[in-house]
Amino acid sequence: MTLRKTGRKLPAYCTHKPSGRAYVRLTIDGNRETIYLGPHNSQESLNKYDEVVGEWLATKEVGRRQSGPTVADIGEQYASHQEPLLDADKLYNVRNALKVLNSLFGDRPVAEFGPLQFDRFRDQLVKAGYSKAYGNRLLRIVKQLFKWALKRGVIDANRYAGLMAVDPLTSKEAPTKIVEPANDDDVDATLPLLSADFQDMIRFLRATGCRPGEARLMQVGDIDREHWLLHRDKHKTAHKGKSRIIPIPSSVQGLLLPRLLRPADAFVFGADDGDHPYEKRALARAIDRAIVRINRERSEADLPTVDHWHPYRLRHARATEVREQYGVEVAQVILGHSRIDMTQHYAGITEAKAKEVGKLIG
């Protein structure tokens, strides 16, 4: 085939197995059509594919220019504009919102995108299983995209007002997921396949109950070695004027000591001897790869497999453990929560604890 990639996925060159003929499916004037090209893999069919798809692309491009920019065009311009302004995590969320949006309406002209289409995007977030909080974050990103488009005259004020009228997700539509604590046996099975840095980071997360991001960005100067406390100036609730102090148990103080010989601004678990923090999702990806490898080997040996777990589940495991031993107030301090109900969410009472309470109250 001589056609080159255009930035959008080309229609597939398919085989009709009963007849051995090649075909391609195209949307022409709103109708889905199947066009047969000749014997599969023959030069005749390949040339016909180039001809048919080439004409289809040319017609599509003319229609696109006449109708103005598409949703994908504006989305890419918006992402490029935001790239130097956002950190990696926020840019990831923008790209994720655009991925879902483009899967539904990437080729649709922006001038034809309205509240009905935005409602379909909203429904897709529910089908994808996003939580209320994250789903609404993606909704806000798309609203910001169209506000940006409004300022540049791409859409009019009436269309923008219609988009803003779409409601956010509710708890009933996108309920908060119950995250189970990580199983220590699964964690122990995963550790040998990870780097020394990631092994120590996981042990630290399990012992302290801190957020993965707090461990990832922890610097040598953040640690008070006299009292073994981690002071985080930049954290989730810092904008509310709340402090974040994390006790470091003696069980993990030893693994930190060699890392604390680095300069004060070095990252304790950072790449290149602490010069740079690890990318946010690096640990989770490494865990996923390790578990896939473990389960492949265990399946071949007819052994029980390991459940997939995320670094945040280490926090849940520590939360449940601390609550059982010391009560919810202590767990609230360790987790850095300002509300007891959030601690309750993280540290659900276990069956064993429920039985103990049942005996106490008769």
Out of 3.50.30.50, 2.40.30.10, 3.30.70.3040, 1.10.443.10, the CATH code matching 184-358 is 1.10.443.10
Q: In 10 A of CB 147, how many CB atoms?
A: 14
Residue range(s) occupied by CATH 1.10.443.10 in the chain:
184-358
Residue range(s) occupied by CATH 1.10.150 in the chain:
71-164
- Please state the separation of Cα 362 from the chain's center in Å: 46
Type and span of the H or E element at 316: helix 312-326
In our burial notation (b when 16+ CB lie closer than 10 A, e otherwise), range 100-117 reads bbbeebbebbbeebeeeb
Q: Tell me which amino acid residue 260 is.
A: L
Residuewise pLDDT in 10s, the chain (362 residues): 444 444 456 788 888 887 888 888 887 655 678 888 889 888 888 888 888 888 777 666 554 555 678 899 899 999 999 988 888 778 889 999 999 999 988 888 888 888 999 999 999 999 988 888 899 999 999 999 999 999 988 888 888 999 999 999 998 888 877 778 899 999 999 999 999 999 999 999 998 888 888 899 999 999 988 888 888 765 444 444 456 788 888 899 999 999 999 999 999 998 888 888 998 889 999 999 999 999 999 999 999 999 999 998 998 888 777 777 766 665 555 665 445 454 454 445 444 443 343 343 33
The helix/strand/coil state of 194 is coil
The helix/strand/coil state of 26 is strand
What the block records as the tokens of 49 is: 């594919």
Topology of 71-164 in CATH? DNA polymerase; domain 1 (1.10.150)
